Amino acid sequence: MISRGHALTATLALASSLTACGDAGTPGRAALENLPAFCQEVLPRVDAFLADFSTPSGERYGGTAVVGSIGEMPNGMNAFVSSTVTNNQHQTFVNLMPLVRVDENLQPQPWLAESWEFNEDGTEVTFHLRDDVYWHDGTPTSAYDVEFTYRRAIDPQTAFPNASFWNYYDQGPDGVQVLDSLTVRLRMEPHSEPLDPWRSTAIMPRHLLEDVPPSELARHPYGSRCPVGNGPFVFESHRTDESWSFVRNPAFPEALGGPPYLERYVYRIIPEQTTLLTELLTENIDFYVAPGPDQVPQIEADQQVDLHVFPYPGYDMVIWNTRRPQLSDARVRQAIAIGTNRQEIVDAIRSGFGEIANSGVPPFHWAYAPALADSLQYDPDRARELLDQAGWTDRDDDGIRENADGDPLEIAIKYNLGNQQREDIAQIMQAQLEPLGIRARPQVVEWATLLDQINTPDVRDFDAVVIGWRVEFRLDDHEMLHSSSADDPFGWPGIQDPDLDTLLDRLQLVTDREEATPLWREYQYRLLETQPVMYLYFIDRLAGVNRRLRGVELDIRGEWASIQDWWIPAEER
Amino acid sequence: MPPGVRPTDRPVLAVLVPGLPQLLRGRIASGGFALLLWIFFVVVVVVRWDRVSGAIAAGFDHQVALATLILGMALVWGWSLRDALRTEPEPRVGRSQWTLATRAFRKNRVAVLGLMAVTLFYLTALLTPFLAPFDPTQQGSLVAERMLPPSGEHLMGTDQFARDVLSRVLYGARVSLSIGFVAAGIAITIGTLLGAISGFVGGKVDDMIMRFVDMVISFPRLVLLITIIALFEPSIFLIITVLGLTQWPQSTRIVRGEVLSLREREFVQAGKALGYSAPRMILRHVIPNTLAPVIVAATLGIGDTIVLEAGLSFLGLGIQPPTPSWGTMVADGRADLLGGWWMSTFPGLAIVFVVLSFNLAGDGLRDALDPRLRSG
Amino acid sequence: MTRFLLRRILGAIPLVLGIATIVFFVLNLAPGDPVSFFTSPAVTPEVLEQMRRNLGLDQPVHVRYWRWMTSMLQGDFGVSFARNQPVREIIADILPNTLILSVAAMFLAFVGGVVVGVLQAIRQNRFVDSALSVIALFFYSMPSFWLALMLILIFSLGARNLWGWPIWFPASGMTSVDYPFMSPGAQLRDRVMHLVLPSFSLALVLAAGIARYTRGSMLEVIRQDYIRTARAKGLSERRVVLKHALRNALIPVITLFGLSLPFLFSGAVLIETVFAWPGMGRLVYGAITQRDYPVVMAGAFMFGVIVILGNLLADILYSFVDPRIRYD
């Protein structure tokens, strides 16, 4: 028999779990005893180090800013696994530091590295690190950390997703050399964007992770449980699927802007857009990451919040499988490109927040050719002509064109399950292409399955697929458009064009922008003619920001690039 | 019979306006409903004469609608006439269980209303090709006609593709109602068969089936659904089948319970003595006697399935576009609840009313069929 | 009693293992590859191969099954593919959240459902009966996520911004961001405020079923001889209903306790998503879409265990309230 006493204990236990809170150094921390041994050892050191600093004084200092976003940051601050844009920004702008940053014009700027120089022929780069950057546990950040990060990143055992960023670097034993504790030299082959990997990947702490076998780095508790960074914000706590919180790093070097104004910064995970909007409008969050374009009127109507619009390094496109008979002719692909009213698509699904794309070179990039903006205007009559010329005419009066063999011009447009925007694109294209005599059939496939279907070289089970693409600041379409990549996973279109090949090869080697610009223009014109993919639009990213949060500057680098300058007036904290 | 209406008037009246004679006789529910249906049919024929007259050439959907229309009118008309011609009051002798149940059901006004609403919903769904003002998948001008609020032209507004929401709700009724119907049908068939076998055969078989039922019941249904649908392509057939295949255990339990009590009854014992085979006993004699609770379970199951499909749509796993289903419409429109409430509210209300009707009817049936719950 | 419990628990073991096995094979036979989520042009096939090795995915299915089974029986659920964290750790974070929400919702649902059901039963087929069943079923018929969004728009956005009600509820999360700095009293209040909307959304759906069941059970009891006797004795109707009928009518309602657990755990995925409640439903759903096998498997296992424990608890309660039942 169970006595009634047990039930009572259970109730009490529940009540106490309702109010349980951490009693570690920082009140926001989870109780230490629930954390892995590594964290139990490291976090007290962090608290001890931070305790020596006084709170900076000044009217802007203080307050908590809350950012609400739709997704969790899996793997957190572990730069060796990072794959989402949000994670990456938190690593490079919030909790950790890369060697270099870029400004809003994408010019490299000193960050962890105070300066750097290349040798004559561009085969060696030497970084000089700042001497006043400390890991949050008090250990100085040194050139050995850079060496450690590089060696681990390129180690196949680590399975770092972005390891190929360093492909043109020397990966042998002499590839990296620590000259002194603040100077490190790396060897490479000359390249047009040699610094880019050092912008996108944050430096990791050697003294904490050196003894971890590379194949176990990914699952080390460092990432999600107790990251110890060196950036402007110190990790405070992470509640799975709920929130991340960070506190000001009082030791952040003055020369890099000093300790941030905000005392605390919280990233909340709210997976539903209407809820996010409600939280923004009821002032429970200060910053709504990427609201839907349809929510813009509500954000604009509210007196207390501002809408920010800024460029995003990404675009949506439709990939053609040029191996398919109905899509092998460039004229058919051109006809679809001008027979699709892309402006209407942008207006309908992005409420106009996007810019028509005619190539993968985004408008914010120096290689962008503005003259191209008006190409491929919507012209259904010209599209019909092109289709006629290519031999596709309606031979049996069913409204759909056929070729000489009587095969109908049918294209299945695949998109991934649960992606509303891509689903919408496929549906609108279906409606727009119907009058041209093209039967486009939207087809939904679950994401993991879709990847299997389009990436497996001997399968390529698709006619067309709607896909979003994120560009690196270092542009390179080699994997997708070079004929030698046609049988690699990302050789989706399978296009064989010698002109494109030549241009792609040359572009990666030309280091001088003056010299490269005309080549880039030529490349973009060639894309217009060959149409291996139909570029739809570059995305304009949106953000809803409460007016009490000041100093928010948003640009191509992302939401968190200016977080050090965010501040909240004292009366609104 | 109220004074003033002579028996001879009624057939004539019934021929002209079915339902009216019954209404005049004070039978508000049946008479009123018949009259309502009649008016509904006549209005459809008059207003949509162009579509009705061209239905035979216009494809399967229209043919079905035409058949429904003709059959529906004939039924209402025939019932009214026969009912009016009957001079004697309803026979009071031989109160079988079914008559008792019918009488009990009629007393429950809400349940009767529910049943009528269900009938109306199905009729509307079948007649949709005649009713819908626009093509549900036809996109209008994405610039000028997108997300228009309800107006005279678009009674329920337009959606993000400038499609008419009313037409989509009407066409969605067909998808949602058939999902519910077919899935519940699959579940009931499997459940009844397994339950009957389990209860009738007993022993090891019973044990095994019931262990299996326990397993399926203790596993969260939605997780099972998500797992299967997310892993494979969400076609309408997959969704219906999976919904049906995860719903049967409840009816298995119900039927097994009934069968256990039937097994010892005289007619079953007699059948056994006569040497009837087990399959014959189960199909011919056991199952028909367990129908009452099964009907109730089916009615409630249809409603649950429709709501569940909406839940799946929320996760992006429901019926895929451009096929309109209510669940998908509510789920797709939810991000615009503040900017375009009409896009998700109307299909949402449709779900609420249909499911509510099914549940009211089902509850009424249960009360009526279970002698222990009948009032008075 | 002890023997009965032991027998039940032993009987439940193959059940849970069976569920886990089915889920394992469904997941592993489905198309899609856990590491494909890392695919990008920057990722070479060699890196993917190494990831597979690091995750143990290079082994054949039966080997993986055997490994998973043996380590699970030792209490080790492995490491999440997508989050690279031990699954045990993730579940330890998430499970309490689910329990808080479930217990609150269950409490509201049972109290509300029983009250409505009793009211309906004593007024069978009258206006109150019909009205209550229409109202209860109205909420039951709403897609739960839609109901939840409506509650947010009314009691959070509308209450605060449009109508300026004195009280409004936060739309998401379990606590405010400054929770750690609050006094214990304020912390409890903060918790409760965050719990109100999600637990009500869940409870409203559940309550209709409980009300229906209570009503049926109550009707059955009211017709029994001893109630007639009680009435004949001249006891007040109130006393008859509350003292004699209700106690006996509630017995079968207890079985619903066990039956509603699967719903609270999985049906909650929609509610958890809308209210940004970090619970098991969301965890497992996310894991399914990411092919995060270890998390899905652990989730399935936890579901099975909790449901069985719930049923067991229902049985025990049963033996408390109904003296006729003895488990020997």
Q: Which of C38, C85, C187 lies nearest to residue A19, judging by beta carbons? A: C187
Q: What is the mean pLDDT of residues B182-195?
A: 89
Return mean pLDDT, chain A. Answer: 88
Helix axes B60-85, B28-47, angle to 10 degrees: 140
> Per DSSP, which regions of A367-474 are E strands?
410-416, 439-445, 464-470
Interface test with C, best of A270, A272, A273, A284 (most C CBs within 10 A): A272
At C139-163, the pLDDT tens digits run 989 988 999 999 999 999 999 988 9
**How far apart, in whole angstroms, are the C-alpha atoms of residue C154 and residue A275?**
12
- Number of helices and strands in chain B (H, E): 17, 0
Partners of residue C86 on adjacent β-strands: C79
Q: For chain C, what is the mean pLDDT?
A: 83
Distance from CA of B315 to the nearest CA of A (A): 7
Distance CA A354, CA A346 (A): 6
Instruction: Find, among A364, A361, A318, A375, the residue nearest to A523 by Cα.
Output: A361
Is 50 exceeded by the pLDDT of residue C305?
yes
Model confidence at B148, pLDDT cuts 50, 70, 90, reads confident
Contacts with A379 (C-beta within 8 Å, 6 or more apart), sequence order: A338, A339
User: If DSSP states are collapsed to H, E and C, what string results for C47-64?
Assistant: HHHHHHHHHCCCCCHHHH
Taking the CA atoms of C44, C49, C52 and C53 in sequence, report the sign of the dihedral they define: negative
Output C255 or A322, whichever has higher pLDDT: A322
Mean pLDDT score, B81-99:
66
- pLDDT at site A242: 93
User: Residue A116 is encoded by which pair of tokens?
Assistant: 């750097």
List chain A residues with CB under 8 Å of B142. Answer: 344-345, 347-348, 428
B98 touches C at CB < 8 Å: no
Angle at A72 between CA A68 and CA A77, to 5 degrees: 105
Task: State yes or no: pLDDT of A12 exceeds 90.
Answer: no
CA separation, residue A413 to residues A377, A443, A467, B28 (Å): 22, 6, 10, 55
Residue B139 touches partner A, C-beta closer than 8 Å: yes
Position A330 scores a pLDDT of 92
d(CA A185, CA A175): 8
Q: What is the pLDDT of residue A184?
A: 96
**What are the Cα distances from residue A259, in Å, to A51, A86, B53?**
14, 22, 79
Which of A273, A345, A427 minimises the CB distance to B321? A427
- Smallest Cβ–Cβ distance between A347 and the set B143, B161, B315 belongs to B143
> HSE-up of A188 (CA within 13 Å, CB side)?
22
Are residues C283 and A241, on separate chains, in Cβ contact within 8 Å? Answer: yes
pLDDT higher than threshold 90 for residue A462: yes
Q: Inspect the interface and report whether the beta carbons of C85 and A224 lie closer than 8 Å.
A: yes
pLDDT digits (tens, 9 = 90+) for C213-233: 888 888 888 877 777 787 788
What H or E segment, with its residue span, contains residue C233? none
Q: pLDDT-based confidence at A563, cuts 50/70/90? A: very high
Phi, psi of A96 (to 5 degrees): -125, -175
Residue B90: per-residue pLDDT: 55
Contact list in B for residue C137 (CB cut-off 8 A) is 355-356, 359-360, 363
pLDDT in tens, A35-66: 889 999 999 999 999 988 888 888 899 999 99
pLDDT of residue A114: 95
Cα(C49)–Cα(C54) distance, integer angstroms: 9
List of chain C residues whose C-beta atoms are within 8 Å of the C-beta of residue A38: none
- Separation of alpha carbons A112 and A115, rounded Å: 9
Q: Which of A19, A272, A447 sits opposite C188 (nearest CB)?
A: A19
Interface test with C, best of A241, A472, A485, A487 (most C CBs within 10 A): A241
Q: Which of B280, B282, B245, B244 is nearest to B263 (CA)?
A: B282
Q: Does B314 touch chain C (CB under 8 A)?
A: yes
Q: What is the rounded average pLDDT of the residues A67-81?
A: 91
Average pLDDT over residues B250-275: 79
pLDDT surpassing 70 at residue A421:
yes
At C323, the pLDDT band (50, 70, 90 cuts) reads low
Of the candidates A344, A423, A430, the beta carbon closest to that of B143 is on A344
Strand (E) or helix (H) holding B339: none
Chain C residues within an 8 Å CB radius of A1: 1
Closest C-alpha among A251, A266, A151, A245 to residue A201: A151
- Nearest residue to A61 via CA among A221, A228, A261: A261
pLDDT of residue C313: 78
Q: Is A103 or C251 the better-scoring residue by pLDDT?
A: A103
Q: Are A470 and A314 a contacting pair, CB within 8 Å?
A: yes
Per residue in A319-372, pLDDT (tens digit) is: 999 999 999 999 999 999 999 999 989 988 888 999 999 988 888 888 888 888
What count of Cα atoms within 13 Å lies in the side-chain half-sphere of residue A353? 23
Instruction: Judge whether residue A85 has pLDDT over 80.
Output: yes
Rounded to 5 degrees, φ, ψ at B232 are -120, 175
Question: With bands split at pLDDT 50, 70 and 90, how would you rate the model's confidence at A397?
Answer: confident
What's the mean pLDDT when you consider all of chain B?
81
The nearest alpha carbon in chain C to A165 belongs to C42
For an interface test with C, give the residue of B222, B250, B330, B337 to mutate (most C CBs within 10 A): B222
Chain A touched by B74 (CB under 8 Å)? no
Closest residue in B to A421 (Cα–Cα):
B332
Q: What is the mean pLDDT of residues A104-119?
A: 92
ipTM over 0.85: yes
Residue A274 and residue C275: Cβ atoms within 8 Å?
no
Give pLDDT tens digits for A265-278. 999 999 999 999 99
Q: Answer with the residue of higher pLDDT: B276 or A217.
A: A217
**Mean pLDDT to the nearest integer, C194-212:** 91
pLDDT bin (cut points 50, 70, 90) of residue B376 is very low
Neighboring chain A residues of C53 at a CB cutoff of 8 Å: 215
A352 touches chain B (CB under 8 A): no
Q: Contacts of residue B360 in chain C, CB cutoff 8 Å?
A: 133-134, 137
Residue C189: pLDDT band with limits 50, 70, 90: very high
**Is the predicted pLDDT of residue B250 greater than 90, yes or no?**
no
Q: Does B149 touch chain A (CB under 8 A)?
A: no
Strand partners, A562: none
Mutate to test the interface with A, among C35, C48, C83, C191 (most CBs of A within 10 A): C83
Residue A406 CA to residue A271 CA, distance in Å, equals 49
B143 touches chain A (CB under 8 A): yes
Closest CB to C177 among A64, A160, A480: A64
Predicted confidence at residue C317, as pLDDT, reads 74
B106 at interface of C, judged by CB pairs closer than 8 A? no
Q: Is B291 on the interface with C (CB under 8 A)?
A: no
Lowest mean pLDDT, pick from A3-12, A179-188, B296-305, C272-281: A3-12
**Average pLDDT score over residue span A412-440:** 89
| Pick from B214, B231, B307: CB nearest C141 | B307
pLDDT at B265: 74
Give the per-residue pLDDT at C81. 85
The verdict on a CB contact (< 8 Å) between C138 and B232 is: no
Residues 6+ apart with CB under 8 A from A445: A414, A415, A416, A417, A453, B233
Q: Which of residues 294-333 of A touch B (CB under 8 A)?
A: 294-295, 297-298
B204 pLDDT band, cuts 50/70/90, is confident
pLDDT at B88: 56
pLDDT at residue A16, as a whole number: 38
Contact criterion met (CB < 8 Å) for A156 and C47:
yes
Contacts of A2 in chain C (CB under 8 A): 316
Q: Where does residue A230 rank: exposed (0-12), middle (13-18), buried (19+ CB within 10 A)?
A: buried
For the ranges A5-9, A564-568, B79-83, B135-139, the lowest mean pLDDT is seen at: A5-9
Rounded mean pLDDT, C33-38: 72
**Residue of A164, A209, A275, A476 to mutate when probing chain C, most C C-beta within 10 A:** A275
Best residue in C15, C126, C140, C146 to probe B by mutation, most B CBs within 10 Å?
C146
C-chain residues near A216 (CB < 8 A):
54
Contacts of A292 in chain B (CB under 8 A): 335
State which residue of chain B sits closest to C208, comparing Cα positions.
B359
Q: Which residues of B touch A294 (CB under 8 A)?
A: 147, 160, 335-336, 339-340
Q: Do B352 and C142 touch (CB under 8 A)?
A: yes
**A244-269 per-residue burial string, b: 16 or more CB within 10 A, e: under 16:** bbbbbbbbbbeebebbbbbbbbbbbb
pLDDT tens column, A469-501: 888 777 888 888 999 888 888 889 998 999 999
The first and second tokens of residue C49, run together, are 């191969």
